[in-house]
Amino acid sequence: MSARRVLVLASASEIRSRVLGNAGLAFEVDPAGIDESGIKMEHRTTAASAAGVAKALAEAKALAVSRRRPEAWVVGADQILTFQGTFFDKPRSMAEAVSRLRRFRGRSHDLVSAVCVAFEGRSQWLYSEAAVLHVRDFSDAFLDSYIAAAGESILASVGAYRLEGLGAQLFSGIDGDYFTVMGLPLLPLLGFLRDVGAVAA
């Protein structure tokens, strides 16, 4: 891989790494380490949309790494969950995760995923996509068994579920792209990377 075709994922997310790896991409991982809470607070006070917040976070991650890795195509991504007009962060405890799933039960919520590609310290491409997830009216017994089986891995997900695993059983339907739910709109990203020669066309 030539210097101009180095690809870097500015995230420690195992799911995003898996998505890129399963697509056959060779890449390095270099987490951005930005202050996400500060960016979220800044944009929430300006009544920014979920897409606007997700884009701001994705771009901040990509630019932070691109400034120290100007020779690389740097991919930054983020995801925002909204439910009844409220933004949600990752649950901080299992009790909070259970409470969140009870609130979601029988209702729908939105996931907005954004991705940014930066090169030479400048944003080159910024994109967002949304999906609507319809949570089925599951029983308390199912919720108990789900929590016991999934364990603390669900704390890594803003929705307290992993759609690619047992979490699929929480839903009655999804309107939107699978990769958007995974937190990385893969097909548009691949299209851009092919256009600029960062990956093979």
Active site residues: 78
How far apart CA 94 and CA 100 sit, in angstroms, is 10
Q: What is the phi/psi pair of residue 136, to 5°? A: -75, 165
In 3D, which of 108, 102, 92, 63 has the Cα closest to residue 152? Answer: 92
Beta bridge partners of 133: 109, 174
- Residue 162 to residue 23: CA distance in whole angstroms: 19
